[in-house]
Amino acid sequence: MIRLNQVFKIFLILFVSIIMCFKSNSDTLKTQNDLVVLGKNEAPIKIKIFSSLTCPHCADFHINVVPKIKKEYVDPGKVQLIFIDFPLDQAAFDASKLLHCLDQKKQITFLDKIYENQSQWTSGKNLSEINNNLKEIAKVLGINSKEFDKCLNNDTIIDQIINGRINAIQKYSINSTPTIIINEKKLEGSANFINIKKKIEKLI
């Protein structure tokens, strides 16, 4: 994984350098239709979660913190969670592509499976083995082998993810995952439920 990460970072630095030369500061982080969300659009508190699907801390947050936020604040309509891609390596980048090939109703289920089984599907010796593991998860959600390969080469989705990452760096100075943004303010301190709860309660 270390070697893959290095190649991905070199590619990303070159790509970002080129894109940033042409990008306008007025760009937004994604249109509403592109977002993976949990909760009502009318919710007064928006929590953006920038994460990498191969990041263990992101998996811990998704498995242990997101359900508590959902129960206490999302279900009553007070909070909307917005999941935004910030891949840190090529495996996470490919998994993010699959996320956006899925029907919106299946996206949260995909995130659940990806994080719950993170140690299994990322255990391949190379990217090919890792993608074969991903292919099995995708198959359960209705993406066959042909669709899987097509998804990984979808230029629209590739540009969407990379541009979202560039915008996140520009707007929020993100350099690690998970990074939590609550009503456009970066969460300081630990990304645990108690800390997030304190911030939410101040805004209600």
What structural domains and CATH numbers belong to the chain? Answer: 2-15+33-203 (3.40.30.10)
CA distance 176 to 178: 6
Query: How many Cβ atoms are within 10 Å of 118's Cβ, its own excluded?
Result: 20
Query: How many Cβ atoms are within 10 Å of 25's Cβ, its own excluded?
Result: 7
CA distance 8 to 33: 27
pTM exceeds cut of 0.75: yes
What are the residue ranges in the chain where pLDDT is below 70? 1-33
What does the pLDDT read at residue 12? 55
